[in-house]
Structure 1
Amino acid sequence: MQILDWASLSSTEQQQTLARSPLIGDASVEQGVRDIIEQVSNQGDAALINFNKRFDGVELTELALSTEQINAACARISDNVKQAVAQAVNNIETFHNAQVFNGVDIETQPGVRCELRSEPIERVGLYIPGGTAPLISTVMMLALPAKIAGCEKRVLVSPPPINDAIIYAANVCGITDIFQVGGAQAIAALAFGTESVPNVDKIFGPGNRYVTEAKRLVSQDNRVSVSIDMPAGPSEVLVIADKDANPAFIASDLLSQAEHGVDSQVMLVTDSVNLAEEVNQALTEQLAQLSRKDIAATALECSRSIIVSDMSEAAKVSNLYGPEHLIIQTNAPRDLLKQIRGAGSVFLGAYTPESVGDYASGTNHVLPTYGYSRSVSSLSLADFSRRFTVQELSVQGLQTLGQSVMVLAENELLDAHKNAIAVRLASLQQ
């Protein structure tokens, strides 16, 4: 990776250094995705079947997987995969069960009762990337919190042919509605519905730039009422490392994200030029051994090592970037954690590779990208529910609160608001 000295860069050059891959900003993506959405909304299943053939080279007549197909796929799974899934499921369930919302019920003053309640989103769509990397882990990250939250309809979509392990994980996590369709067309199907694929209230899941753009567009389309979890696009990681960090560990973490896709990005921020050079050497050695080395190598072309004066400046650079994944490999990672303001998920210490969060530690791996981690949270149980408030006033409550409400309404020139209080108070005096 290119090694740059942060202090020697102008403010403009610093911004350019933290810019994402130019593939993400490809203007042609939006128009292409719009065309796909229109075809799906107008042609339904026919468009999906056509896109499956065009983009995935798969000819299908039925988009939904039958019970027989699901059972057959599950029977082909090896015991070691089943055991790995079981351990991951246990940890993910443990962490997400701990997030169950207990509600708020309080009297703000005598006779004025206010509540904050939660209920599950009824219909959710779960997008599982397939393509070059079938993400078995994403099934668990989406399906388990949806199940724990109590979402009644849980629809899973993934590019065909769907990997057996994806189907197995979905089955273990209680998913029965599985559809063989991926890409922007799958997002459009979940938003608009087709003859086979039901429309949903909220769409979850990461994806490439086409999937991410489709999620953005459908969430802003006034023809449907569908929301999305977050801008979760091409993967990215930033590693903060001091001079004592292990360069082989760092290289392995950088490559673990670079191999996701050519539009992925990985960054190293360190106070040691020697470490940056050693990481580059380790990258060369490890890259040669990877089955996806061509993809990772392309991602590295838009990735950089940044040299800073100390770890405090490293934290500032990281906060400016707002990484999806942040790995802190320093002598005192928890001390530096106090300075972090923007990251989707943080990994502390030399023995906490990003891979554990991707698969089985228990935290969720669906995270904001593009710098949105500065204001958008990582996926959690709360995202599968909607929260709403309730208020209830007694006679005493209205009598003691009413005058203040009328004064405020009068000063806002909203007479009907004031009158809604006045008629009730008047009735109590009769």
Structure 2
Amino acid sequence: MQADTISSIPVSKVRLTIAGFVAFTFIGYFNIGLPLAVLPIFIHHQLGYSTMVAGIVISLQYLTTFLSRSYAGNIVDKKGPKPAVLLGMLGFMLSGILLFMAYGLKSNPALSLGLLIITRLMTGFSEGLVGASPINWALLAVGNQYTSKAISFNGVASYGALAVGAPLGVILQNAFGMGSIAILTVLLGALGLIYAKSKVALGGHNNAPRQSYLQVLKKVSPYGICLALGGLGFGTISTFITLYYSFLNWQGAVLSLSVFSILFVLGRVLFSRYIDIYGGMKTAIACLGLEAAGLFVLWQAPVPGVALLGSGIAGLGFSLVFPALGVEAVKRLPVANQGSALGNYGLFTDMSLGITGPLVGAIATHLGMQYIFPFCMVMAISGALMAMMIYIRRRPATLTAK
């Protein structure tokens, strides 16, 4: 069955409708979160490779995410979100199979690492397909007036999934080994595939004039660069927090990632309305500043408890950066380019997370692990300053329009 819209959904059901679509995001990012805290330790301690190699392998995921975002955006604009989600779930199933093989060959470090590289690339491909497609599917169902709500819900699903998936992955690893993580990844991918097949296909066959890929990228890039600068903090916490705690001989690294994710989710749930009240740019500037403050606390933390506080502040600060800047970016493109706009905007998250591994890994290797968070703090401040410049430059045009 193909449909172009779902007519007149009551406001009371909007939240439930959006949640029904961003459930695909939850499944995808739950799969991403499961090995997140396990793989760096596995690569560094069990396979015997350096922290820089571990960071590069983890970050390889975002290379294919980067490449598949625009592909997913084109699928969404031309055929609708359903085919992209279906293909993404198949990819997660395959990544689980590859992860199982990599774990089974851990006695051969080179072969195991090679399979892990392929696993990360496949995971990234799947993330790129699932990343923005559920948002578009939800907007086709409820209408563009709920853009900020759909983006916020999607963020709650993604980081909520990471908050649950990362500690569960550690529990499974300690109890049953990494093979259990791989099996669960396959099962969840299959569940997502079955659920996606049951949903009504929306959108596609849009004959309205569309702007070129480069035109779309050019319009969203100022907002995307701000997002990328703020995203380095999250990328560093998610990739290096276990190694950072190990460096300081602390316990509870996974809890730090979970606190970041929980405060991120709470920020989206409790404060997303501020985007509509104060505007995307003002909200983004304030949030990037708060994230920088959290990274400062994390850097200066003398004990794990203070580090948890820093992670929470950073998570709360980063919570609204994506939707705040995303609303501003998407409104500058026609409806026919909405899928590509969100896909291209999401590229900057992938770019940020993709360079986190090698860049921050190099800082940790050559300068010391203690320098990774002050570096991220400076990047978040840079993002806030750039967002402020965009706001100041746009303000005269806004006043003239009034």
TM range (shorter): under 0.3
Q: TM-score, with normalisation over the residues of structure 1?
A: 0.25
Computing the radius of gyration from Cα coordinates, the structure with the larger value is 1
The structure with more strand, counted as a fraction of residues: 1
The structure with more helix, counted as a fraction of residues: 2
